[in-house]
Amino acid sequence: MREHDLVVAVMAVGIVVRSICPALQDKWRETPIVAVDSALRSAVPVIGGHHGANRLALHLHRRLGLYPAITTATEAEGRPNVEGMAEALGCYISNVDSSKGVNMAFLREDVPLIRIEGPRVVIVDEDVSVLKGNGGLVVGLGTNKGVQADEVMEAILSALREVGREPTDIRVLASAWIKGDEPGIKEAARMLDREVIFLSSEVLNSQDPPSPSRASDLGLKGVAEPAALALSKRLLMKKRIYGRVTVALGE
């Protein structure tokens, strides 16, 4: 476990558990382990589900057809988790003990993501996760209803070309909660191998975008620019319209 970033143990889960128990001390430092049966039918994350084991099980599913037996509650319910959110944003959780309370809340409700610019002095409760240390581009997206993935991809690539950046520079995609059921946005994120975060109206309206927006008809200050600003320090590119897609870039 000390020598590798991930471990695939081709043996019964019980053997894995008995073998690793003496070495278990801190889930934030332990190597994620996935148990795979000898018939190569199932991939079971044993430890480190939110820290790489679940992703490894899904990778084995995609590449080898193994059933990903993921048991962590947020994944089982199709809900976000704070560890995944931190990874998507290129951050780390500075108060790791908060993750249990926040993930429990994710099972019941949509927990808001709020960015606070300093200098500030902030007092937080035990069930507030503080994420630090991000970098890379935030792609803020606004789209027409029913937009296709290739339209979203072409718009993003066009925006990147205009600022001399590459798709690998993208940290995360962001849009409004009302776009959460748009498969074109989700598919574009999958094609880019990046997460997409859908932000609440409270988060979007807490920003100060430089451009007017027709989203005011929906009670929003905007979509693309506020979404980019909410997860970055500044706008690298104000919103630009590419067909049925609006893109703003933050960094």
Instruction: List, for residues 20-31, the tens digit of each pLDDT value.
Output: 999 898 888 899
Does position 145 have pLDDT exceeding 70, yes or no?
Answer: yes
137-250 maps to CATH 3.30.420.180: yes
pLDDT tier, 117 (very low <50, low <70, confident <90, very high otherwise): confident
User: Domain 7-71 belongs to what topology?
Assistant: Rossmann fold (3.40.50)
The pLDDT assigned to 119 comes to 86
Q: Where exactly are the structural domains of the chain?
A: 7-71, 82-132, 137-250
pLDDT classification of 134: cutoffs 50, 70, 90: low
pLDDT digits (tens, 9 = 90+) for 190-215: 999 888 999 988 889 999 999 988 88
Question: Which residues, in sequence order, are bridge partners of residue 140?
Answer: 174, 248
pLDDT of residue 91: 83
| 7-71 and 137-250, same CATH topology | no
Residue 92: the pLDDT is 84
- Looking at residue 70, its pLDDT comes to 94
Q: Is there a contact between 48 and 30 (Cβ–Cβ < 8 Å)?
A: yes
CA distance 143 to 203: 18
Query: How much is the average pLDDT of 226-246?
Result: 94
pLDDT per residue as tens digits for the range 152-174: 999 999 999 999 999 999 999 99
Cα–Cα distance list, 32 to 14, 37, 44, 56, 192 (Å): 16, 17, 11, 9, 25
* Phi and psi, residue 111, nearest 5°: -80, 125
Gap between the Cα atoms of 222 and 201, Å rounded: 10
